[in-house]
Amino acid sequence: MAQMPWTNHTSITKFILLGFGNRNEVQILLFVVFLVIYIVTLAGNLLIVALVVADQHLHTPMYFFLGNLSFLETCYTSVSVPRLLSGLLVEDRTISFRDCITQLFFLSALACIECFLLAVMAYDRYLAICNPLNYNVMMNLRVCLQMVSASWITGFSATALVVGMVPQLSFCSYNEINNFFCDMEELLKLSCTKSSLVEMIVLLSCSLVTLAPFLFIVVSYIHILLAILRIASSAERQKAFSTCASHLLVVSLYYGTIIIMYVVPSAERSPAFHKVLSLMYTVITPMFNPIIYSLRNKEVKGTFRKVVLQSLGMA
């Protein structure tokens, strides 16, 4: 019974990831660009994780969540980019049915977890600004661990429910995925037995795990903005807002892509436009997140400067 979902409902054993075409000069250029982006993404996110772990001054809830987000981004980009890079170098772009479902599961799960983590970070900023006197009590280490654990468990559980239905679909002949990774939307298009129930469950699940955290973030920042406007000192207002600015930029970048995907119907999106959106949330956003937090955060920059000086024997 455990093997049935993988073998009994499909005659296709592998898919072909079309990626970005077959022009050699373009392939080499794209390989170099995406390789540089991948290296920058890994270096930036792993650096933030290392700084948060190493420096006692960063052992606060805000940086604990930031470290988790950076670790998540490292995992997220590593699920899709290595196969993207290999597809740009070799002619064989096939991926087995099992590997495709596995990649889809981890990409979807990590995307869900990021939505929840961004909501948790918004709640952290809400408590810090709107309820500062009780912040240390309400956001202690145990609560932080519980919230992060809940984000990861919920993300994987919700994804298992949705992706677990994909092997139940029938894939008869056409096996070309017009993207550089296994995409749920593309797999539903390839299915030769259309299931409105599966499509409805996928739509509802994706809506819940993306829009619900987004609405929570919006409500949190409405309260934060009202609290900041009530602060008499302009310097204090600016200081309070600066603690939220990086998170707001990351949320805007991440959810901006998701909102475009919801606003523009799939029937009206060209394959090229769909690939650009896919690049945004799987490749570009994970690279920008550590840059945004590093450039706008004095404590992160200060810790980095101190680590560099210590490594050079100057401090």
Q: Which pLDDT value is given to residue 168?
A: 78
pLDDT tens per residue, the chain (315 residues)? 334 344 444 467 789 888 887 767 788 889 999 999 999 999 999 989 988 888 888 889 999 999 999 999 999 999 999 999 988 888 778 899 899 999 999 999 999 999 999 999 999 999 999 998 899 999 999 999 999 999 999 999 999 988 888 877 778 777 888 888 998 888 888 887 766 777 788 878 888 888 899 999 999 999 999 999 888 888 888 888 888 888 888 898 888 888 887 666 666 677 788 888 888 888 988 998 888 877 666 666 666 666 665 655 555
pLDDT of residue 314: 54
pLDDT at 246: 84
Position 6 scores a pLDDT of 42
| Predicted local confidence at residue 244, as pLDDT | 86
- Fold (topology level) of 4-311: Rhopdopsin 7-helix transmembrane proteins (1.20.1070)
pLDDT of residue 178: 87
- Beta-carbon contacts of 249 under 8 Å, excluding residues fewer than 6 positions away, are 292, 296
User: Which pLDDT score, from 0 to 100, does residue 311 have?
Assistant: 59
Q: Where are the domains of the chain?
A: 4-311
For residue 201, the model assigns a pLDDT of 82
Specify the pLDDT at position 237: 83
